[in-house]
Chain A
Amino acid sequence: MKLAYWMYAGPAHIGTLRVASSFKNVHAIMHAPLGDDYFNVMRSMLERERDFTPVTASIVDRHVLARGSQEKVVENITRKDKEESPDLILLTPTCTSSILQEDLQNFVNRASLESHCDVLLADVNHYRVNELQAADRTLEQVVRFYIEKSKKQNNLDLKKTKKPSANILGIFTLGFHNQHDCRELKRLLTDLGIEINEIIPEGGSVENLKNLTKAWFNIVPYREVGLMTAKFLEKDFNIPYIKTIPMGLVDTGNFILEIEKIFKNYNYFTNFDFKSYIDKQTRFISQAAWFSRSIDCQNLTGKKVVVFGDSTHAASITKILSREMGVRVSCCGTYCKNDSDWFREQVQNFCDEILITDDHTQVGNMITRIEPAAIFGTQMERHIGKRLDIPCGVISAPVHIQNFPLGYRPFLGYEGTNQIADLIYNSFTLGMEDHLLEIFGGHDTKEVITKSLSNDSNLNWTLEALSELNKIPGFVRGKIKRNTEKFARENSIYQITVEVMYAAKEAIGT
């Protein structure tokens, strides 16, 4: 058992449902108790979805517990088949109902005999994988199923498209700025003279999955979802894929160069000059390169920041901060524990330390210890930042409704670099303003706050010491307080007087 208040990645079935409901005309049925269909609320509220979320629950109640689901699941599948005539129905248990160990595969087999649509059971272990891993797995499962199916029907088209084309794998519902990223990628590919073959799962149709093999190569914009599918297509059909994430100027450039390489491997020669395209975009179209050169950005030099998020965004943002803006990343971390090797390799030379954990208290303590000038993280880090008075830019899921902006906010490609530069810069200026206010005695009515996330303090501050502490400018007050307490604890002092404060100052040298 684990005492938990918050989690970064949701349970496995959420990943499966995200993939299923991203496809057009696919319906998911959850084998779950009442109230587990919370996914519908998330999709309807966060994405402000206009259509009914194609997810229903086959309710597990007392009767099911006593007698088993029997006909219920099969009836629910065939009923949905009649009502909505989807192309595919995907059945998934939740953590809870997977313990029942009912033979869901058997239900699926029976239901697929009676219904017009295809029926699949999401093949996911609910206790071993999280939302993102499950989404990756489910996407691959669906793709594999339809490619096998069309192999059997002998209508799998292995001929490549005439013009170079690419599939984009892993754009899906409730993804962090996925819709905008997708539009930006399309724009980039159009610039390079590449056609989009298929985009899955978002807006894709399962009937079109057999066309995947016509593409020249695959693009996996996010580490977390789509990689398994890309690997499958590479292994079985020899379709190369690009796993460089086109986020930030350097990596977007690398991404384009990889495309050039793929063209060469296909012996396809165009008179398009990739290098000068990258150069023009980097220096003149995107503002980010100029921006980091401008004197404004000089102020950011050596500022300490902390980055935390999914592996894609945390790694890319770390590289942008350190390589493209000259900001010092004190710690960079991810909650994607399953992909930690890749993550370490990516960020190794761009940060002081690496934290891989899915425990938000560890992240909170790390931030408290480092006291960065800004945080780039998820909604959780935003709230940690609020409590510590440190500005935070949100760069990764898990997210709120405010991270589903209506305006165009990609993170990928050249427009993405502009957006990221704005996000980073704005986080810092806000922080600077705040400090200036404090220095010039703005509205300093704040009480001394502990600024530590644990409440295990058993130290006593005398009145004089407290009033001395209040004289210290607000923005370093927390640090002095913590250092003093640390000193006191180390020396087993429980009563903090003015003397102790100065002794601590001398000992630590702050």
Chain B
Amino acid sequence: MNKKNSEKLTFECETGNYHTFCPISCVAWLYQKIEDSFFLVIGTKTCGYFLQNALGVMIFAEPRYAMAELEESDISAQLNDYKELKRLCLQIKKDRNPSVIVWIGTCTTEIIKMDLEGMAPRLESEINIPIVVARANGLDYAFTQGEDTVLSAMAHRCPGKMIKKNDFEQNKKSENLFVQTFFEFTKKSLKFTPENSFKKDKNPDFLYKNHSNLVLFGSLPTTIATQLTLELKKQGIKVNGWLPSQRYDELPFLGENVYVCGVNPFLSRTATTLMRRRKCKLIGAPFPIGPDGTRAWIEKICSVFNILPKGLEDRENTIWKSLEDYLFLVRGKSVFFMGDNLLEISLARFLIRCGMIVYEIGIPYMDKRFQAAELSLLEKTCVFMNVPIPRIVEKPDNYNQIQRIRELKPDLAITGMAHANPLEARGINTKWSVEFTFAQIHGFTNARDILELVTRPLRRNKNLQELGWTDLVKEKI
């Protein structure tokens, strides 16, 4: 079956009967990232039960998220949505006093056509807390795309009005004016007073090249964000802000002369919003996952700013060398991605570069434009490593995939938790795909972590192999 693999990228589309997390799960990492936020998921018991089980112990740590659980009277419109939401939001304001409340619309609010976008501005002015509406529902999106909906909604809240043409010309001439507008919008924030920033920025002029503003988008743990920021600093590139920022009132300035670049493959909607609504210029690059990806990502940003990247090749080679002990384990091994979190293309590209053979890349949704650079790097990597190009299966069908896994017997299946134990019991090594979403996988520094994850089942099962109990079910798959 894999013999069909061609020289060109091929895209297939199956039935979409696959297992993935509901996109509302994005609150799990976003509430931790945006420290002064509160996420209110407006949905039913089903949503609540999912969150409760998916997020496990986080539930008990007084998280800054909650369910607005819709009851029968809400569904049948016996109660007024607006009044109900106002009551809950006032309670949240009283208990937690967040800087922003994010409403997560779910399938149910879609079906009963609750006008969240319409109610939010009214309520916002009444209770005096910004309300951001994101429709992260399972009707339209899968898992990580939840973050995409939140960030694209948040992009509208970033400071910086749509600048008119002639203003823009002026801005170009005087950086100062730009700085002023910037601080006008962020003066509310305590940490970002002009004085502080000037102090911070006193020296950087020596370090940074003169380039347009750069804003990176995608939620990453703060340490990873710092690592990537420093990586760019080495090239003399200054990162003017991140979407999302650590705090809601530190959202970056956006405008016509701002370049933006994504760090995760599932952010296509955010990219579109940034381009179309905020007039930013998108840098389409491969994603900084794996040393190859990170290098390509930096090189692309450098090329846009006409900067000659320095020391990158050495840096990449050093990282590859340091990975040798892991590469030894994975070389020549085969992988099957069942697909559930949209990181699949980048991970597959990295693993192919590591010397693995990828049979199939399942993926919930493929934005060929947003991922164009990543796809072409995948193609190049396959040629470079002299392996056939894997098939990319959009909206996969898990049942069919399991039949294919049975035929292909890959050394490793990267899959959701619903299938992991049953596959293990049938002697197939598995790695839970969800871990890639929560682990730190970006940048040069963390390439090791990806391989740590990928090789863990291989290492564990190598230890157990000698016992000869690989097949633990009575009937074969």
Chain A residues at the B interface, C-beta cutoff of 8 Å: 1-7, 10-11, 13-14, 32-38, 40-42, 44-45, 48-53, 56-62, 65, 76, 83, 94-97, 99-100, 126-128, 130, 380, 383, 386, 400, 455-456
Contacts and interface: CB of A to CB of B under 8 A. Distances in A.
A10 B422 contact: no
B54 interface: yes
A49 B422 contact: yes
B129 interface: no
Contacts of A400: 56
A44 B420 CA distance: 8
B48 A4 contact: yes
A497 B108 CA distance: 52
B292 to A, nearest CB: 32
B304 interface: no
Nearest to A60: B139
A35 B16 CA distance: 11
B204 interface: no
Which of A99, A383, A400 has the largest number of chain B CB atoms within 10 A? A99
Contact of A5 (B42, B63, B72, B402): B63
A500 to B, nearest CB: 26
Given A11-B49, A50-B425, A1 B79 contact: yes
Given A10-B45, A11-B44, A44-B418, A3 B107 contact: no
A2 B47 CA distance: 13
Contact of A35 (B57, B66, B71, B142): B142
A92 to B, nearest CB: 11
B69 A2 contact: yes
Contact of B419 (A52, A76, A386, A455): A52
B95 interface: yes
A4 B69 contact: yes
A400 B421 CA distance: 17
Nearest to A10: B49
B110 A65 contact: yes
Interface of B: 16-17, 19-25, 42-46, 48-50, 52-54, 56-57, 59-60, 63, 66-72, 74-75, 79, 84-85, 87-88, 91-92, 95, 106-108, 110-112, 137-143, 399, 402, 416-422, 425, 472-473
B52 A6 contact: yes
A38 B472 CA distance: 24
Contacts of A61: 16, 139-140
Contacts of B24: 35
Contacts of A32: 46, 138
A99 B70 CA distance: 12
Given A4-B67, A33-B139, A383-B60, A100 B48 contact: no
A127 B416 contact: no
B138 to A, nearest CB: 3
B19 A7 contact: no
A41 B111 contact: no
Nearest to A401: B56
Given A51-B425, A51-B473, A35 B52 contact: no
B52 A59 contact: no
A65 B113 CA distance: 11
Contacts of B75: 99, 127
Contact of A13 (B43, B46, B421, B472): B46
B44 A95 contact: yes
A127 B43 CA distance: 12
B84 A96 contact: no
Nearest to A76: B17
B128 to A, nearest CB: 19
Given A10-B45, A33-B138, A96-B46, A41 B71 contact: no
Contacts of B418: 37, 40-41, 44, 53
Contact of B421 (A49, A56, A60, A97): A49
A35 B50 contact: yes
A6 B59 contact: yes
A96 B139 CA distance: 10
Contacts of A59: 16-17
A44 B111 contact: no
24 contacts: A1-B68, A1-B71, A1-B84, A3-B92, A4-B69, A7-B45, A11-B49, A33-B22, A33-B137, A35-B22, A35-B25, A35-B138, A36-B46, A40-B418, A50-B422, A50-B425, A51-B425, A56-B17, A59-B17, A94-B46, A96-B106, A96-B108, A127-B75, A400-B56
Given A38-B53, A41-B418, A99 B48 contact: no
Contacts of B20: 34-35
A100 B56 CA distance: 30
B101 to A, nearest CB: 12
Contacts of A53: 418, 422
3 closest residue pairs by CB, A with B = A35-B22, A33-B138, A40-B418
B341 to A, nearest CB: 12
Given A35-B24, A60-B107, 16 more contacts: A1-B84, A13-B46, A33-B107, A35-B21, A35-B23, A35-B142, A41-B19, A53-B422, A95-B45, A96-B46, A96-B106, A96-B108, A99-B111, A130-B45, A383-B60, A455-B95
Contacts of B68: 1-4
A212 B46 CA distance: 33
A95 B48 CA distance: 11
